């Protein structure tokens, strides 16, 4: 079912033509099943939770997390990790608030481009200086947080002119929040590019075995830099979404979204060790995490129990969603 791993071309066709077994099919749908199960549980706890208004609010809330997780998934699929996404997102909210008076309607684009460029720099540092992605992005996290604090004078900057972000607060068909719609479009666009070009197999090959991928002629370095660039740009887009919702930019606004984003990737069933997974899984994972974040307190779970349940459900969800046949090494 997986796209051929380049290192073992001879053995693979049999697997592909044989088709997935029932078990494999079930595993690939596990993230969706986990999402539905969680929704059912929340509805049992509070029947008022399952209303169209409530679900609309939940997917609206999830939009920045979906975009953040989608970008970072590419890096994870390559076998790396991007710890800087949340700090870069916070920095981008500050950029947005500061640039808006000058750039007007172009601010959103400028922020996404700037964040993408910053992501590219991290990718270059990773492949050229051969520093582990964990360290590069940990450094990035620290640098971006400090820069954001310094340029914003350590406080939130209010966005008074809301015309530039108004489109994100609209609703498609009166039901689907535009922010979530854009998030799904981004996920679809990335998935389409992966599917229609060799990039998909390059990423998978890099993630499963980088040295084998290099031997097979995969442009590993370029793939990695591209992954970091997309991850950065996604952080910028998530920042625009946050600003449209909070009417301000702040140097700490998205900082607490790092662990939820990583959790979304893992709960979706993408292997943190790289290679196996998909960007769609992270979309579903982000929805699961959002339901946990906003759903638990709203249905009346006491705050002490909330954290316990949150942790337990994430571990249980990963146990369900991860396709163990595809991941031989657990770190």
Partner 1 sequence: MKLTSRPAAALVGLSLAAMALAGCSEEAGGGGGGDASASGACDPADVKLVGQVRNESNPYEASWLDGGDAFAEQVGLTQERLTYDADSTKQQEQVSQLLAGDTDCLVMNILPNGDSDTPPIVEGAQDAGAYLVTQWNKPADLNVTDYDHWVSHITYNGVESGKQIGDALAEAIGGSGGIIALQGILDTGAAKDRFAGLEESLAANPDVELLDDQTANFSRDEALAVTKTLLTKHGDDVKGIWAANDDMALGALAALEQAGRDDVAVVGIDAVPDALTAIQDGTMTATVSSDGPWQGGIGLAIGYCVATGELSVDDIGDEDRAWFAEQFLINSDNVADFSAPETDEADFECDNVFSRSQGAIS
Instruction: Please name the residue ranges forming H helices in 217-257.
Output: 220-246
* 19 phi and psi angles, rounded to 5 deg: 75, 160
Query: Is 151 among the residues that bind partner 1 (CB under 8 A)?
Result: no
Q: Which CB, 84 or 282, lies closer to partner 1? A: 282
DSSP secondary structure code for residue 292 in this structure: I
CA distance 231 to 248: 23
Q: How many residues does the chain have?
A: 331
Rounded least distance, CB 98 to partner 1, Å: 14
Binding-site member from 295, 313, 317, 318 for partner 1 (CB under 8 A): 295
Q: Which CB, 128 or 308, lies closer to partner 1? A: 308
Binding-site member from 5, 283, 288, 327 for partner 1 (CB under 8 A): 283
Rounded least distance, CB 120 to partner 1, Å: 26
Q: Which stretch binds partner 1 (CB under 8 A): 122-130, 132-140, 147-155, 206-214?
A: 147-155
Binding residues with partner 1: total (CB under 8 A)? 68
* 3 phi and psi angles, rounded to 5 deg: -65, 145
Cβ atoms of 178 and 117 closer than 8 Å: no
State how far Cα 194 lies from the chain centre.
16
Query: Is 242 among the residues that bind partner 1 (CB under 8 A)?
Result: yes
CA distance 112 to 241: 11
Query: Is 275 among the residues that bind partner 1 (CB under 8 A)?
Result: no
Q: Which CB, 108 or 279, lies closer to partner 1? A: 279
Binding-site member from 4, 12, 29, 41 for partner 1 (CB under 8 A): 29
**Beta-carbon contacts of residue 321 (< 8 Å; ≥ 6 apart):** 27, 30, 31, 34, 267, 268, 269, 281, 285
Q: Which CB, 122 or 201, lies closer to partner 1? A: 201
Instruction: Please name the residue ranges forming H helices in the chain.
Output: 12-18, 22-45, 52-77, 85-103, 107-128, 133-151, 178-196, 199-208, 210-215, 220-246, 258-267, 279-290, 296-298, 303-321
Query: Is 246 among the residues that bind partner 1 (CB under 8 A)?
Result: yes
Binding-site member from 106, 109, 172, 319 for partner 1 (CB under 8 A): 172
Query: Is 304 among the residues that bind partner 1 (CB under 8 A)?
Result: yes
Q: Which of 55, 113, 320 is nearest to 232 (CA)?
A: 113
Binding-site member from 119, 148, 250, 267 for partner 1 (CB under 8 A): 250
Binding mask 64-93 for partner 1 (x = CB under 8 A): ------------------------------
Q: Which CB, 93 or 122, lies closer to partner 1? A: 93
Query: Is 57 among the residues that bind partner 1 (CB under 8 A)?
Result: yes
Rounded least distance, CB 292 to partner 1, Å: 11
Query: Is 43 among the residues that bind partner 1 (CB under 8 A)?
Result: no
CA distance 70 to 73: 5
CA distance 308 to 65: 21
Cβ atoms of 179 and 63 closer than 8 Å: yes
Footprint of partner 1 on this chain (CB under 8 A)? 1-3, 20, 25, 28-29, 32, 48-49, 51-54, 56-58, 60-61, 153-158, 169-178, 181, 184-185, 187-188, 191, 195, 200, 242, 245-248, 250, 252-254, 256-257, 278, 280-281, 283, 290, 293-295, 297-298, 300, 302-304
């Amino acid at each position: 079912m997986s796209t051929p791993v380049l290192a073992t071309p001879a053995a693979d066709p049999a697997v592909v033509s044989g088709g997935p077994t029932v078990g494999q099919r079930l595993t690939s749908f596990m993230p969706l099943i986990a999402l539905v199960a969680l929704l059912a549980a929340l509805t049992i706890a509070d029947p008022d939770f399952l209303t169209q208004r409530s679900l609309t609010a939940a997917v609206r809330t999830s939009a920045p997390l979906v975009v953040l997780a989608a970008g970072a998934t590419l890096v994870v699929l390559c076998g790396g990790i991007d710890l800087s996404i949340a700090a870069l997102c916070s920095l981008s909210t500050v950029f947005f608030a500061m640039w808006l008076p000058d750039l007007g309607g172009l601010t959103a684009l400028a922020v996404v481009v700037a964040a993408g460029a910053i992501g590219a720099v991290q990718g270059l540092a990773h492949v050229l200086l051969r520093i582990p992605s964990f360290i590069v992005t940990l450094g990035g996290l620290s640098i971006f947080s400090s820069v954001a604090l310094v340029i914003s004078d350590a406080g939130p900057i209010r966005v008074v002119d809301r015309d530039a972000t108004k489109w994100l607060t609209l609703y498609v068909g009166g039901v689907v929040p535009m922010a979530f719609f854009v998030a799904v479009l981004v996920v679809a666009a990335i998935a389409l590019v992966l599917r229609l070009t060799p990039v998909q197999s390059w990423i998978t090959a890099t993630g499963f075995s980088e040295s084998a991928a290099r031997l097979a002629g995969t442009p590993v370095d370029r793939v990695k830099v591209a992954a970091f660039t997309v991850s950065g740009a996604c952080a910028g887009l998530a920042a625009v979404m946050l600003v449209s919702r909070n009417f301000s930019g702040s140097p700490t606004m998205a900082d607490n979204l790092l662990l939820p984003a990583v959790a979304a990737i893992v709960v979706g069933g993408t292997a943190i060790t790289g290679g196996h997974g998909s960007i769609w899984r992270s979309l579903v994972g982000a929805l699961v995490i959002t339901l946990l974040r906003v759903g638990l307190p709203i249905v009346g779970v006491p705050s002490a129990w909330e954290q316990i349940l949150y942790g337990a459900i994430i571990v249980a969800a990963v146990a369900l969603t991860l396709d163990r046949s595809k991941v031989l090494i657990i770190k």
